Amino acid sequence: MNAPDTALLQQQAPTATGVSRFHESARAQVAGAATYVDDIPEVRGTLHAAPVCSPVAHGRLSGFDTAAALALPGVRAFVSAADVPGDPLLAAFGHDEPVFAQDTVQFLGQAMGLIVADDVMTARRAARLVKPRIDALPPVLTVHEAHERKSYVLPPVHVARGDAAAALARAPHTLDGEFEVGGQEHFYLEGQIAYALPLEQDQWWIHSSTQHPGEVQHWVAHALGIPNHAVTVECRRMGGGFGGKETQAGHLAVWAALAARKTGRPVKLRLDRDDDFMLTGKRHPFAYRYRVGFDDSGRLSGLRIAMLANCGFSADLSGPVADRAIFHCDNAYFLEDVAIDSFRCKTNTQSHTAFRGFGGPQGVIAIERILGDIARHLDIDPLQVRLRNLYGVGERDQTHYDMTVEDNILEPLMTTLARTSGYEERRAAICAFNARSPVIKKGIAITPVKFGISFTATLFNQAGALVHVYTDGSVMVNHGGTEMGQGLNTKVAQIVADELGVPFERVIATAADTSKVPNASATAASSGTDLNGRAAQFAARHVRDNLAAFVAGLDGCGAGAVRFVNGEVITPKSARRFEDVVHAAYANRIQLWSDGFYRTPKIHYDKVTMKGRPFYYFAYGAAVSEVAIDTLTGESRVLAVDILHDVGHSINPAIDIGQIEGGFIQGMGWLTTEQLVWNDKGYLQTHAPSTYKIPTAGDLPPRWNIALWPEANREDNVHGSKAVGEPPFMLAISVYEALRDAVAQAGGDPEAMHAPGTAEEVLRALGG
């Protein structure tokens, strides 16, 4: 590029942030040169492992016949619970999950051991030759059965505000309802994988595709019975996470490490896609029962709701997931008198886990469904019913967990979107269309989202980072977050570049590594940039302050007068190139690297009473979806989507829009084609993309408009931005509500429709 162009570019983009920088790995990714764990050149002697999985959902395990497996040429070892030197239970949240099944098997697919072999196909073939001795026991497979037996992974939780019973008793109208919402497989394109390398002196290096290297480190150390400092976990990037690599990645790392310990060789464990489906947890399926009261205008006056979360066989993250469903069953609406019962049901299925939204979607869909039904019941436009129930500003602004909603933009956001999307005219057009179309019927819905940002466990809201400035002026940033495609490293590099006033290209972000930044929280809860971006900003600021003091000394000005812009360090007297300043500072023994640490302010939360301010702020958005259904087959298409979403002041608009679009389409999949089917033996029948259908390019709605809300975060967050990973997922609930609208307009019973709204489910609701 020639000089004038460079100048022009800089003029257009004086800062690194606020600009749609390409993903830091984009060029490597499109060239096939971005390295994922399975692409790392293998160390000589590497062996490969495959899991031995339970063939039944519940049973007593008394041993294995491994003769046939071990006789297969190339097979090196069978690894089972007997080979765990440390705690045979994983260091998980509930401490209720065995490393390998011991004595009992608790779901079909549970890992009972591993086969280790010279190559992966031999390991997989041999794993199926291991014959476990199991006396089958009756499994519990549904939440209803579990609830009836009081089979829970954690005790029930009750949250109430006001007097729901009294409010319901005096409500002019009441509705009772029951419905179910299915789970969801993450379907990260890169399956779960770990590569464990034994180092000297009982130390370990683990390459893991994980959202939480610190937890992997802790789990591996715990299972091996060694201190955390003996284990280093590294993750350059994941091929998608979506919550599925928050705890689930730990299992693989522990297994690979145990196999490596037993064989004394490096061991790689890459799950076959079908095994990945069978072994790992998914989004929690939920069942609901409710009674809601409301007045003639559709305003809520009392809600009693029971939420049954299907947690699978162990607690994993089910407690906080079910909690977040409680926090979000208000979504955008003021629930004055409310009583919520949350049951964390234990079933003999995969242990369900974090998934984008983390229980939020399961809470939001409940109230959106209820409001849709109220609108139909009163024959009022559902938008009006929703608007009438929104949180107020300065009144009706207290959540059921006692947090005041201080940054409410719901009403202007929804009315703006309704106007720009032509919601009212299109609703009228749809009614006219439906009147003349005998087979295809359309529906439309607008739904908002208000999503609380912060880990509800306050302690996780901390982060650290390291910024290194090298003597040539190049900058490296390392932080505790992980890159799973969401663009975290890009945003962090942008933040650091602006803090140091250097071009974006001067900064690289490196692999998450527990030996660099310790004790990092999971990259989850949409908090990656909020936490790590701020920590990196502070780290860079420390270096900048050192340089400013140094230059101020040279020029005899105050350090506050030194500016860092466009790759230059400018004082009232001079302008120097950043690299020249760095070089001189190094020669004068100035520290050119620093750490940074951030903890989220203002938040506090009492886990016992479930009251407080668990969230620093809320992210908002709304979507209008229009769908068509085929009343002969129940098939559907999403025809049009308009989104207005609040990301605060965007650090990278392209990345934020990417999160909004991707989150929406993923949510659309959850509520339409993505159906998990377990048979009556507890066997997950949809265990591959041939049977489990995530959206394709052909499912992208023909009309697709995304806009960003033009206002910075009202709380002091990094560069005025807001978190964006999870909130847009829930915008897709507008698709589900539009489907139910179409069902209603076709004369069917939308209250009979569960989620996902598969073709079969839609036809069932139509009475077909």
Give residue for tokens 């690297």: 593
Q: How many residues bind other proteins (CB under 8 A)?
A: 99
Among candidate residues 166, 175, 174, 208, the one with its CA nearest the CA of residue 191: 208
- Can you tell me the distance from the alpha carbon of 489 to that of 508, in angstroms, rounded to the nearest whole number? 8
Based on the shown chain and the rule CB under 8 A, indicate whether residue 404 belongs to the binding site for other proteins: no
Based on the shown chain and the rule CB under 8 A, indicate whether residue 1 belongs to the binding site for other proteins: no
Among candidate residues 423, 282, 285, 296, the one with its CA nearest the CA of residue 354: 282
Based on the shown chain and the rule CB under 8 A, indicate whether residue 63 belongs to the binding site for other proteins: no
Q: Which is nearer to other proteins, 39 or 178 (CB)?
A: 39
Among 142, 228, 415, 691, binds other proteins (CB under 8 A): 691
Active site residue 726: yes
Residues 454-513 that bind other proteins (CB under 8 A): 484-487
Site string for other proteins, 272-311 (x = CB under 8 A): xxx-------------------------------------
Among candidate residues 342, 380, 386, 345, the one with its CA nearest the CA of residue 367: 386
In DSSP terms, 111 is beta-bridged to 53
Based on the shown chain and the rule CB under 8 A, indicate whether residue 20 belongs to the binding site for other proteins: yes
Q: In what order do the strands lie in the sheet with 231-235?
A: 75-80, 111-117, 47-53, 267-270, 193-198, 204-208, 231-235, 512-513
Based on the shown chain and the rule CB under 8 A, indicate whether residue 673 belongs to the binding site for other proteins: yes
Closest separation in Å from C-beta 658 to other proteins: 6
Site string for other proteins, 632-671 (x = CB under 8 A): xxxxxx-x--------------xx--x--xxxxxx-----
Based on the shown chain and the rule CB under 8 A, indicate whether residue 52 belongs to the binding site for other proteins: no
Q: Which is nearer to other proteins, 36 or 593 (CB)?
A: 36
Closest separation in Å from C-beta 647 to other proteins: 15
- Can you tell me the distance from the alpha carbon of 516 to that of 439, in angstroms, rounded to the nearest whole number? 61
CB burial class (10 A; 0-12, 13-18, 19+) of residue 501?
buried
In DSSP terms, 453 is beta-bridged to 617
Q: Which is nearer to other proteins, 482 or 571 (CB)?
A: 482
Annotate 74-140 with DSSP letters as a single string. Answer: TEEEEEEGGG-SS-SB---TTS--BSS-BSEE-STT-EEEEEEESSHHHHHHHHTT-EEEEEE-PPP
Among 238, 278, 335, 746, binds other proteins (CB under 8 A): 238
Among 7, 14, 45, 65, binds other proteins (CB under 8 A): 65
Residues 342-371 that bind other proteins (CB under 8 A): none
- Can you tell me the distance from the alpha carbon of 61 to that of 357, in angstroms, rounded to the nearest whole number? 36
Closest separation in Å from C-beta 450 to other proteins: 22
Among 15, 35, 416, 462, binds other proteins (CB under 8 A): 35
Closest separation in Å from C-beta 446 to other proteins: 18
3-state secondary structure of 523: coil
Q: Which stretch binds other proteins (CB under 8 A): 121-129, 135-143, 382-390, 449-457?
A: 121-129
Among candidate residues 277, 280, 275, 312, the one with its CA nearest the CA of residue 58: 312
Residues 179-208 that bind other proteins (CB under 8 A): 186-191
434 Rama class: left (phi>0) / alpha (psi -120 to 50) / beta: alpha
Site string for other proteins, 702-741 (x = CB under 8 A): xxx-------------------------------------
Q: Which is nearer to other proteins, 101 or 732 (CB)?
A: 732
Candidates 185, 483, 726, 761; catalytic one: 726
The structure tokens listed for 141 are 């497979």
Catalytic residues: 726
